Structure 1
Amino acid sequence: MFFLIASVFHPKKSYFEIVKKRVQQLLIPYFLWSFMFFLFWLFLGRKYGESAALELSPVKNFMGVFYAQGDVEYMNWGIPMWFLPSIFLTFLIFWLIKKIIQNKKVKFLIIIISVFMGFLIPRFTNIKLFWSLDVSLIFYTFGYYTKNYLFFNNWKGEKISLFILGILHLIFSLFLLQEVDMYRFKYENEFLFIINALVGVLFWCNFYKTSTLFNHSI
Structure 2
Amino acid sequence: MRRIDWIDYGKVIGIYLVVLGHTNLFFSFKDGIYIFHMPVFFFISGYLFSFSRNPVYKDFVKKRFRQLIIPYVWINIITYLFWFVLGRHFGDDANANIPWYDPLIGALLGNGSKLIHDVPIWFLVCLFVVENLFYLLFKRIKHFWIGLIIFIMVAYLNYTFNPYLMPFSFNTAIVAMIFYVFGYMMKEKEFFRKSNVLYLIIALGILIWASILNGRVEMYKNFYNNYFLFLLGGTAGIIFIVNICLYLSSWFGDANWIKYLSNNTIIISGFHLMTFSFIKAVMVYILSIPLTVLEGKIGVNILFSIISMILCLPLIFFINKYCPFIIGRKFK
TM-score normalised by L of structure 2? 0.55
Corresponding position of 2:246? 209
1:34-73 paired onto structure 2 within 5 Å: 34-69=76-111, 71=113
1:165-184 paired onto structure 2 within 5 Å: 165-173=203-211, 175-184=212-221
CA contact (8 A) 1:11 1:18 kept: no
Q: CA RMSD in A?
A: 2.5
- The amino acid across from 2:206 in the alignment is L
Deviation at 1:195, TM superposition (A): 0.8
Structure 2 unaligned spans of 5+: 1-39, 254-332
Task: State whether structure 2 residue 118 is matched by structure 1 residue 81.
Answer: no
Aligned length: 206
CA contact (8 A) 2:112 2:120 kept: no
Q: Distance in 1 between matches of 2:247 and 2:92?
A: 45
Question: Could you give the per-residue CA deviations for residues 147-198 of structure 1, whole angstroms, max 9, x where no partner exists?
Answer: 3323xx238xx3433343344344445x535211111222111111101111
Deviation at 1:108, TM superposition (A): 5.1
- The amino acid across from 1:41 in the alignment is W
More displaced stretch, 177-186 vs 77-86: 177-186
Corresponding position of 1:3? 42
Corresponding position of 1:134? 171
Corresponding position of 2:191? 149
Structure 1 unaligned spans of 5+: none
Q: Which one has more relative contact order, counting CA pairs under 8 Å at least 6 apart?
A: 2
1:30 aligns with one of 69, 72, 83: 72
CA contact (8 A) 1:30 1:85 kept: yes
Task: State whether structure 2 residue 136 is matched by structure 1 residue 96.
Answer: yes
CA contact (8 A) 1:115 1:134 kept: no
Question: Could you give the per-residue CA deviations for residues 81-129 of structure 1, whole angstroms, max 9, x where no partner exists?
Answer: 1111111111111011123xx2434x65455444433343343333102
Q: Distance in 2 between matches of 1:30 and 1:215?
A: 33
Corresponding position of 2:200? 162
Task: State whether structure 2 residue 158 is matched by structure 1 residue 121.
Answer: yes
Q: Distance in 2 between matches of 1:166 and 1:54?
A: 39
Q: Distance in 1 between matches of 2:95 and 2:205?
A: 45
Change (3 A) 1:133 1:214: same
Question: Could you give the per-residue CA deviations for residues 22-58 of structure 1, whole angstroms, max 9, x where no partner exists?
Answer: 1111101110111222233234432332222222233
Q: Distance in 2 between matches of 1:45 and 1:207?
A: 37
Deviation at 1:4, TM superposition (A): 0.9
Q: Distance in 1 between matches of 2:105 and 2:116?
A: 11
Does the residue aligned with 1:187 lie in a helix, a strand or coil?
Answer: coil
Change (3 A) 1:116 1:55: farther
Q: Distance in 1 between matches of 2:214 and 2:46?
A: 26
CA contact (8 A) 1:121 1:127 kept: no
Corresponding position of 1:17? 59
